[in-house]
Homo-oligomer: A and B are copies of this chain.
Amino acid sequence: MTKSYQALAAYCRETATINSLSALASWDQETYMPAGGADLRGSQKALLARLAHERAVGPRMLELLSACESDPGVKADPVLAASVKETRRDIDLARKLPSDLVAEIAGTSPKAVAAWREARAKNDFGAFAPWLERMVALARRKAECYGTPAGGEPYDALLNEYEPGATAREIDAAFKPLRTRLADFIKDLSRGAAPDESPLNVTISPERQHAFGLFVLRAIGFDLDRGRLDVTTHPFCDGIGPGDTRLTTRYRESRFTDALYGTLHEAGHGLYEQGLPKSERFGEPLADAISLGIHESQSRLWENWVGRSAEFWSWVMPHARTMLGDSFGSPTPEAMARAVNTAKPSFIRVEADEATYNMHVMVRFELERALFARQIEARDVPGLWNKAYQNYLGITPPDDAKGCMQDVHWSSGLLGYFPTYTLGNLYMAQFMEAAQRDMPGLKGGIARGEFAPLLAWLREKIHVHGRRFRASDLCQRVTGAPLSADPFMRYLEAKLRPVYGRA
């Protein structure tokens, strides 16, 4: 490591420490903060966002970065060179935003989230609408500051924050045929026999579910000495910093698989966070996730590829019988694996099956894109949302709480984020085809509770690199091919056709 890089890294580590406080404040906001703390939380987050932004765009940072860029020692080291290049990208983006706007977005979101929470509980879109308008207006201002890339559209600027280099046009081009393929596939499944869901319709206490969730977390390799699991209305993973990665879930007594798969999903994010080299490189791009698409690939992988497999149920069944108690009964692993792969249109994205899930994402993507093209306004969202659900899934939400107010993202200021969920599904399937080529005994091992080989493979191929590679480069490197929807469709078909007797 060169002296110039060392100085840059030390400076960035301090900025990351500021950001880690924002992460802690966000976690607390969703878990334990009393309602009365929302205003202070807004001030805290605005202040932290301003401090971090001022450091990022200030003269000292530019000086340190330029010193690295002109240092032959950095140029000669491909890892350091990649890190400096990514830092430059971040700084150039940050410099396009005024600190006031950054602080305003951070400071408004806790209040918008509080309003969303209340409006959703009361199913009152009218009460949420002004906050949605405000968050959309702030995101539009951000998109204006970033500027529309040549040949692109305003939405691209936001997308670029979460999935560097992605554009709305490309995503649209990938989503349209996928939508058709999925629609055909869902229609075909509907001609088969739906699996028996009765193994899921059992009542399990939150305490038992929690103990079971912790057991599964430990088994797949999530380090609970460097993390935790709490309860929130909207599950998430918060990688606060080195040694501190927090997951949340929610327990529904009448459907224990909600929490199980929610926990596995967030654990996938958490394993990625714990696998990034944060102790050594906190604050450097080399300790950051590549993109939200790649992040999501990790969560969907543990939730779905692992957790909804017959092999997983074969391993976990005796433990489930002991830990979930008598009411769990004694379904066979095969029956459970069928039940958890029921595919049918539903209202709530986070509870959707793998076949219909991406339709939920596409609805959001299209609405967001239209919002940023100023073709629609916040007030138009509920009507268009319901129409899109009817078009894509053949169902109309009974109310806005189960419709356009179900997600926390927009009130949090996360606009342009949703498409990464579908990208994550595609990356996941493509990564796992590669993993199975590398480890032919992978599935068999899972049936014996051997998760370490898969985690080691993910660590080596993906986690340990941080942002050394762009998502598309990583995909090529790990799988030998550019991203495609084919592995995902192959994966879905191989898994769901037999469940529906359409093999």
Contacts and interface: CB of A to CB of B under 8 A. Distances in A.
A350 interface: no
Contacts of A241: 37, 40
B40 A227 contact: no
A25 B240 CA distance: 12
21 contacts: A14-B47, A17-B43, A17-B44, A18-B47, A21-B21, A24-B24, A28-B28, A32-B228, A33-B244, A34-B225, A34-B227, A34-B228, A34-B244, A36-B225, A36-B226, A36-B227, A36-B242, A40-B240, A40-B241, A40-B242, A40-B243
Contacts of A420: none
Interface residues of A, number: 38
Interface of A: 14, 17-18, 20-21, 24-25, 28, 31-41, 43-44, 47-48, 51, 223-228, 230, 240-244, 246, 282
Nearest to A40: B241
A44 B32 contact: no
Given A28-B28, A32-B228, A243 B37 contact: yes
A470 B112 CA distance: 41
A48 B242 CA distance: 18
A267 to B, nearest CB: 14
Contacts of A223: 36
Contacts of A36: 223, 225-227, 242-244
Given A34-B244, A36-B243, 11 more contacts: A17-B40, A17-B44, A21-B21, A24-B44, A32-B228, A33-B244, A34-B225, A35-B226, A37-B226, A37-B243, A39-B243
A279 to B, nearest CB: 8
A388 B244 CA distance: 41
Contacts of A244: 33-34, 36-37, 40-41
Grouping DSSP codes into helix (H, G, I), strand (E, B) and loop, the A interface class, with mixed when no group exceeds half, is helix
A35 B244 CA distance: 8
A28 B18 contact: no
Given A17-B44, A40-B242, A240-B40, A35 B230 contact: no
Given A224-B34, A226-B37, A228-B32, A21 B25 contact: yes
A491 B44 CA distance: 44
Question: This chain: how many copies in the complex?
Answer: 2
Contacts of A51: 51
B34 A20 contact: no
Contacts of A33: 244
B34 A21 contact: no
What are the 6 closest A-B residue pairs judged by CB atoms, nearest first? A36-B243, A36-B226, A37-B244, A40-B241, A37-B243, A17-B43
Contacts of A38: 243
A51 to B, nearest CB: 7
A196 to B, nearest CB: 37
- Best-buried of A18, A31, A44 by chain B (most CB within 10 Å): A44
A472 to B, nearest CB: 32
A240 B43 contact: no
B39 A242 contact: yes
B47 A17 contact: yes
Nearest to A244: B37
Contacts of A32: 31-32, 228, 230
Given A44-B21, A48-B21, A37 B230 contact: no
A290 B130 CA distance: 41
Contacts of A44: 17, 20-21, 24
Nearest to A46: B17
Contacts of A39: 242-243
Given A18-B47, A28-B28, A34 B230 contact: no
Contacts of A227: 34, 36
A17 B48 CA distance: 10
A282 B40 CA distance: 10
Contacts of A25: 21, 24
Output the residue of A37, A41, A230, A243 with the most chain B CB within 10 A: A37
A153 to B, nearest CB: 37
A286 to B, nearest CB: 17
Contacts of A242: 36, 39-40
Contacts of A240: 37, 40
A125 to B, nearest CB: 25
